[in-house]
């Protein structure tokens, strides 16, 4: 019986972890334990999240709560090491590229355990980004590099360490989207007709740090969108800044963050999406919804080359031009990238059991 430890570092990780748990549950050859780096009362983990994803809550909480990346790294290393001392595993699966992900990866290899990196091979090629450092470290340490697409697979294969193995298993986010697609529900607090509104999400720290530039981006969106409502389900600082910077006469409708199934319905039925989130852009490609990403790169290039995503950097003029194209219905043709078939978790579990 293979014992698998799955480490989640933040809320978005659970959307990618849920399919793995279902896949492990279908086999009698493995057991798992789900570890969360944060606190049990983490406010970003709304009560409905685990019910919406139809998955159990973590059985272990490391309790790390800090905004300092170095402090997160050191505290997760200490607490996760203590956990593995009592509960050793055959393989540890870490997700994405957070400081907590890197910390868990380092501890895993120091203990001589097998390490699997879910969503490996993603690169911005910008060493000024802390996440880029995390990605390089995690991939270099991993025994199993599970990639989502052709580009990330070629990066992981080129950089892989001796003894590691790269597998293009597909995009595990699609497993959750396919599993939950028929369960999506309209936001109860919004009366919306499909295709009659845009969605705007914002979270990236670099965008939030420059208020004057953010004001220009918001003005570009609202002017180009005309009379079309722009639904903005935001939390924390992003909500505060958009409330402060947006023209009161604009058609931006600020809303608190939505539960998983309601947010999924909102984006799946939108006329278009403006976002700085890679996950939201991937969901847009799955749903065939036009998407503009406020960044000059994407970790998942297939959303641009094959899917519905367009990168505009942080250029207000380019943003306005693309929003006009979006609302006029002049968007490019798009398709589903390879291996977005909802079977990624099955492939991962099969590989772990066979090796």
Give Dmax over CA atoms of the chain in angstroms.
Answer: 62
Place of tokens 């007709």: 193
Token output for 48: 């409905």
Token output for 340: 């977005």
* Length of the chain (residues): 355
pLDDT single digits (tens) 188-246? 899 999 999 999 999 998 899 999 999 999 999 999 999 999 999 999 999 999 999 99
- Mean pLDDT across the chain, nearest whole number? 95
pLDDT band at 173 (very low <50, low <70, confident <90, very high): very high
**Whole-angstrom distance between the N-terminal and C-terminal Cα of the chain?**
13
pLDDT band at 161 (very low <50, low <70, confident <90, very high): low
CA distance 40 to 336: 36
Average pLDDT of span 50-76 = 95
Q: What is the pLDDT of residue 249?
A: 82
**C-alpha torsion sign, points 131, 258, 329, 180:** positive
User: Measured between alpha carbons, how far is residue 340 from residues 154, 179, 344 in Å?
Assistant: 18, 12, 8
What is the DSSP annotation of 280-313?
Answer: HHHHHHHHT--EEESSS--S-THHHHTSSEEE-T
CA distance 194 to 137: 43
Token output for 60: 């272990």
């Amino acid at each position: 019986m293979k014992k698998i430890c799955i480490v989640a570092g933040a809320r978005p990780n659970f959307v990618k972890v849920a399919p793995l748990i279902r896949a492990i549950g279908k086999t009698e050859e493995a057991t798992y334990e789900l570890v969360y780096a944060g606190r049990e009362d983490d406010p970003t983990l709304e009560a409905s999240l685990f019910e919406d994803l139809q998955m159990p809550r973590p059985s272990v909480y490391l309790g790390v709560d800090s905004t300092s990346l170095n402090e997160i790294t050191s505290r997760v290393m200490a607490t996760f090491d203590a956990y593995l001392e009592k509960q050793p595993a055959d393989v540890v699966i870490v997700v994405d590229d957070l400081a907590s992900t890197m910390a868990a990866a380092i501890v895993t290899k120091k203990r001589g355990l097998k390490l699997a990196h879910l969503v490996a091979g993603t690169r911005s090629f910008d060493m000024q980004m802390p996440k880029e450092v995390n990605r390089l470290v995690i991939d270099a340490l991993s025994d199993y590099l599970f990639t989502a697409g052709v580009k990330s697979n070629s990066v992981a294969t080129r950089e892989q360490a001796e003894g590691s193995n790269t597998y293009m298993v597909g995009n595990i986010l699609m497993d959750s989207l396919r599993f939950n697609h028929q369960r999506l529900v309209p936001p109860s607090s919004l009366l919306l007709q499909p295709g009659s509104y845009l969605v705007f999400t914002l979270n990236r720290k670099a965008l939030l740090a420059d208020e004057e530039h953010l004001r220009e981006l918001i003005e570009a969106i609202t002017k180009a969108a005309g009379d079309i409502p722009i639904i903005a389900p935001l939390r924390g600082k992003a909500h505060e800044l958009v409330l402060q910077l947006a023209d009161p006469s604009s058609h931006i409708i600020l809303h608190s963050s939505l539960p998983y199934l309601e947010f999924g319905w909102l984006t799946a039925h939108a006329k278009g999406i403006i976002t700085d989130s890679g996950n939201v852009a991937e969901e847009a490609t799955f749903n065939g919804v036009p998407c503009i990403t406020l960044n000059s790169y994407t970790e998942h290039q297939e959303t641009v080359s094959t899917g519905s995503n367009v990168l505009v950097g942080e250029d207000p003029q380019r943003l306005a031009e693309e929003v006009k194209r979006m609302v006029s219905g002049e968007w490019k043709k798009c398709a589903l990238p390879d291996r977005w078939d909802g079977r990624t978790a099955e492939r991962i579990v099969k590989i772990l059991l066979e090796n």
